[in-house]
Structure 1
Amino acid sequence: MTFADRLKTLIGEESVSGFARRVDISEALIRKYLKGSEPSFTKANQIAIRANCSLEWLATGCGYLYRHAEVVDQDALIAAYTAVTGQTPNDEKVTELVKMVSGYQFLRKHKKTDGYLDIEAMTTFLSIAKMERK
């Protein structure tokens, strides 16, 4: 499978223009990728993050199509928070919750060789993730 094939799979039945809006990349550029052009790492990562897709799968075809503990589905998080608390979280609270869940997911998958949680690595991960969202 080529990158274009994997992108077609990711888009599925969604319109190209709708997908382009969702991943915040121009429709013309998405169509260029669908015709065989290869994206830069930055653009591929942007597509993966916004489409909740594994960057490894999108780039190589290996691994899993959807991320397991790499991103937080904000719509699901907001719905869960609202169901539990009876309140809709404001933007500041959503950011706080996303960081908490991202940190939790990171710690679940990354432990030191002695088995202890790698808090320092999680802190680094969260600071890098914050920089990439800007």
Structure 2
Amino acid sequence: MKNENDVSFPTMGKETFADRLEMAIGTTSVRAFASAIDLSEGALRKYLRGQSLPQIDKALLMARQANVSLDWLISGEGHSQTGNEVTEIVNNEFNEEYSLIPGYHISVSTGHGRITDSEPVKRHLAFRRKWLKFRGFEAEKLAVVFASGDSMEPTIHNNNTLLVNTSDTKLTDGSIFVLRFGDELYAKRLQKRFDGDVLLISDNKEYEDQIVKADEIDKLHIIGKVVWIGKDLY
């Protein structure tokens, strides 16, 4: 099933998205253009070779950086160059349809805990407002982080994108939470025991469950519930 946050770009005549992107970048180096929109050079080159297509939030960043029309970049329709008035219209239409959720370059360990420092927002992922409303999420209470490790396989794989609802911190048995225990971040299923202890459960049964004793609960901080997982198929 197609991810509703993905976007398909049609081909207009012989001109493909890759062709239009190459024209938009112009004489700017691929490395400099990629750096300006916080994208890896390798990912940008894949778009230029037509090997993959960006999500719409990345396409919008490309259009803004190149000062071209988003409509032209993704479909080939209209004029390539855009003035301030057209840019404002495009941005308004995008903002009406999508919410941009902040993404942090924080690797949440799904193996052994990894010590991390606070990180600034590095990128944004676009989610449809209708979907957020249907799920009862508030955009400003959501955050995107990245998984590291294999202890939650097959549910979560290394480098998967995790959407975290920071407004949902009530411990519910069996749900997956991003949590901090001491100085370490984890993504684990939680289960509260009758004696007051809390189990940190791994889906990969090669890992033993971890126990947070009742007298250590003050060291356990639930950051939010994992509500969506973005995966590569290969």
- 2:76 match: 61
Is 1:42 equivalent to 2:57 in the alignment?
yes
Name the structure 1 match of 2:86: 70
Whether contact under 8 Å (1:22, 1:51) holds in the other structure is no
Partner SS for 1:43: helix
Q: Tell me how far 1:47 sits from its aligned partner.
A: 1.0
Helix, strand or coil: the match of 1:24? coil
1:28-68 deviation line (CA, Å, top 9, x unaligned):
11101011021111111121122221000100111111212
Q: Which has the higher strand share?
A: 2
Give the Cα separation in 2 of the matches to 1:12 and 1:3: 14
Q: Deviations over 1:101-126 (max 9, x none)?
A: x6xxx6xxxxxxxxxxxxxxxxxx5x
Gaps of 5+ in 1: 72-101, 107-124
TM-score, normalised with respect to structure 1: 0.51
For the residues of structure 1 that align with 2:54 and 2:77, how far apart are their CA atoms?
17
1:2, 1:26 → 2: CA distance? Answer: 21
Between the aligned residues of both structures, percent identity stands at 42
Q: How many Å apart are 1:23 and its aligned residue?
A: 2.5
Q: Is the 8 A contact 1:16 1:27 kept in 2?
A: yes
After TM superposition, the score normalised by the length of structure 2 is: 0.31
Structure 1 match to 2:34:
20
**Deviation for aligned residue 1:3:** 0.5
Q: Which residue of 1 aligns with 2:47?
A: 33
Residue 3 of structure 1 aligns with which residue?
17
Count of aligned pairs: 81
Which runs of 4 or more aligned residues in structure 1 lie more than 4 Å from their structure 2 counterparts after TM superposition?
Answer: none
- Deviation string 1:76-134 (CA, Å, 9 cap, x unpaired) is xxxxxxxxxxxxxxxxxxxxxxxxxx6xxx6xxxxxxxxxxxxxxxxxx5xx49x75x7
Does the 8 Å CA contact 1:23/1:51 hold for their aligned counterparts?
no
Deviation at 1:70, TM superposition (A): 3.5
Give the distance between the partners of 1:33 and 1:66, measured in 2 at CA: 20
